Homo-oligomer: A and B are copies of this chain.
Amino acid sequence: MPAARSDIDIAREARKLPIGEVAARLGIPDDALVPFGRDKAKLAPDFVRSLGQRPSGKLILVTAVNPTPAGEGKSTTTIGLGDALVRIGRRAAICLREPSLGPCFGQKGGATGSGMAQVVPMEEINLHFTGDFHAITAAHNLLAAMIDNHVYWGNAEKIDSRRIVWRRVLDMNDRALRDIVTSLGGPANGYPREAGFDITVASEVMAILCLAEDLADLERRLGEIVIAYRVDRSPVFARDIGATGAMAALLKDAVLPNLVQTIENNPAFVHGGPFANIAHGCNSVVATKTALRLADYVVTEAGFGADLGAEKFFDIKCRQAGLQPAACVIVATVRSAKMNGGVAKADLAAEDVEAVRRGAANLGRHIENVRAFGVPVVVAINHFATDTAAEIEVLREFVAARGAEGILCRHWAQGSAGAVELAEKVAALADGGTARFEPLYPDDMPLYAKIETVVKRVYRGVAVTAERGVLAQLADFEARGYGRLPVCMAKTPYSFSADPELLGAPEGFGVHVREVRLAAGAGFVVALCGEVLTMPGLPRRPAAERIRLDGSGRIEGLF
């Protein structure tokens, strides 16, 4: 049991291989690597292109029940499963999202796994890594500067400066920048207007980078970004002010997949990290497809619970990229079942079999939902020290009663050895060829009907309502040729409904659409159901106050 050692201690004790040796495990030659230090690399563009004709390995999604404050361990399970697939002799790789820098200084820990299932180098992945997020920030803000500059120098495109929809971004938790007024200080500084900053992971540039097939597709999508509207309400695109070439130049390296390793020295692609609410919450298509051409099994994760994460993985990422998932792992825990069953966080340590039974309803609905996409399911019961045998047994029986298997996993404590049974089951499922993946709705369904379909079939709400104007807005998107896009639901991750208090498997609720937004470059229409914070704030005692360098230049307090 590693209980006495923290995640950072374990990560630092890991015996890392030179990244070239990790790459060699997937047959990547040394000259296909662009090294960043000794333990990180990007794959060279020529090499990535050269893989285009190779057959694809099997894609395995790791998703979860609705998140609770107890923590489920989705990234940790993705890593543990990847390591375990290698342990049982399979050629496997994992694909994770890159962590955001900003929240590291707030209260969130890193996003590189935990216990004996981690990717390394932990500090660097959590901080600047290979600079992808900085490049996205720069490209996003260059477009913003060019918009105000265009208006300043005569506004040839007749942008209505009250209807500029492109905000700025920083990879920082900074509530003071949410709502600002810019261009104050006189004529030399332009035309004052209301504006604001989001965190970088909320940038449409991030979503584009994660959905683009390659650099050319990236540039095309950047051009499609709607930056503003004219007085006649026609959209102004990024390409209209000549911004897309320079943005693509800033992103030419960021679009290349990053390779690191697990603490068991297995290859991990960590690339891209869009928000899972106003965006689709998956790692990049480029990394996923590259991994699929190099490995027989690729394990990847999606954001939040399966209602948001898996649905968007299937309906946005797989639909756009033509991916065919072979199997899906739903991560569940005794603790989260208890919380969904009504137990308070403080009381989680006490055995409560009935609460597990009640709360498992949440898991049951996710199992049904994933199967509705035609993807076979296995449940990973991520073990915590306080779980009792009776509680685990209830959860396992609940899953079995639904025709699936619930497999207890101890990768947090034991690494790959703790997830061998899961790996065997997942490999068998994927090899079985039973997947018949279909997105939830066809491209040609009207946009509002797509929203209704997700709400009724995935969330199990009874109805969708919307602010006045939403229907007209959607009709306008359809008239402009965006009717075939999928919808990206932005709602609370804590409940199937839009009310974070409705845990378990709620019924009879409606979902209200407050606003819809077109992400024409990313290729989806965002439906905002409730408040979504796109620029976090720092807490009363930010983690930044505890972070420091020790005498040898190592970082303390980051995790």
The segment out of A31-39, A332-340, A470-478, A516-524 that lies at the interface is A31-39
Question: Judging by beta carbons under 8 Å apart, are A184 and B181 in contact?
Answer: yes
Question: Judging by beta carbons under 8 Å apart, are A182 and B172 in contact?
Answer: no
Instruction: Report the bound CA distance from A173 to B242 in whole Å.
Output: 16
Q: Mark A73-108, 1 if CB is under 8 A from B, else 0.
A: 000000000000000000000000000010001000
Q: Mark A144-172, 1 if CB is under 8 A from B, else 0.
A: 11101100111000000000000010111
CB distance from A171 to the nearest CB of B (A): 7
Question: Judging by beta carbons under 8 Å apart, are B246 and A149 in contact?
Answer: no
Instruction: Report the bound CA distance from A553 to B34 in whole Å.
Output: 15
> Which of B146, B173, B250, B548 contacts A246 (CB under 8 A)?
B548
Known contacts A128-B134, A180-B180, A547-B249; A149/B175 CB under 8 A: yes
Instruction: Report the bound CA distance from A154 to B153 in whole Å.
Output: 43
> Which of B35, B177, B249 contacts A36 (CB under 8 A)?
B35
> Which of B128, B149, B543 contacts A135 (CB under 8 A)?
B128
- Classify the interface of chain A: helix, strand, loop or mixed: mixed
The segment out of A8-16, A298-306, A534-542 that lies at the interface is A534-542
Report B-chain residues with C-beta under 8 Å of the C-beta of A35: 35-38
Question: Judging by beta carbons under 8 Å apart, are B183 and A249 in contact?
Answer: no
The A182-222 residues at the B interface (CB cut-off 8 A) are 182-185, 188-190, 194-196, 215, 219
Known contacts A153-B540, A538-B149, A548-B248; A215/B34 CB under 8 A: no
Known contacts A37-B34, A190-B175, A249-B547; A105/B142 CB under 8 A: yes
Question: Judging by beta carbons under 8 Å apart, are B549 and A215 in contact?
Answer: yes
> Which of B45, B105, B176 contacts A189 (CB under 8 A)?
B176
> Which of B127, B131, B178, B549 contacts A128 (CB under 8 A)?
B131
Q: Is A243 an interface residue (CB 8 A)?
A: yes
Question: Judging by beta carbons under 8 Å apart, are B184 and A548 in contact?
Answer: no
CB distance from A133 to the nearest CB of B (A): 9
Question: Judging by beta carbons under 8 Å apart, are B553 and A252 in contact?
Answer: yes
Known contacts A253-B128, A537-B149; A105/B549 CB under 8 A: no
Q: Is A141 an interface residue (CB 8 A)?
A: yes
Q: Is A318 an interface residue (CB 8 A)?
A: no
Instruction: Report the bound CA distance from A555 to B241 in whole Å.
Output: 19
Instruction: Report the bound CA distance from A384 to B185 in whole Å.
Output: 42
Report B-chain residues with C-beta under 8 Å of the C-beta of A144: 174
Question: Judging by beta carbons under 8 Å apart, are B179 and A549 in contact?
Answer: no
Report B-chain residues with C-beta under 8 Å of the C-beta of A34: 37-38
Which residue of A135, A188, A540, A549 has the most chain B CB atoms within 10 A of its CB atom? Answer: A549
Q: Is A364 an interface residue (CB 8 A)?
A: no
> Which of B134, B176, B246 contacts A544 (CB under 8 A)?
B246
Chain B's closest residue to A45 (CB) is: B553
Interface residues of A (CB under 8 A from B): 34-38, 45, 101, 105, 127-128, 131, 134-135, 137-138, 141-142, 144-146, 148-149, 152-154, 168, 170-185, 188-190, 194-196, 215, 219, 241-246, 248-250, 252-253, 537-538, 540, 542-549, 553, 555-558
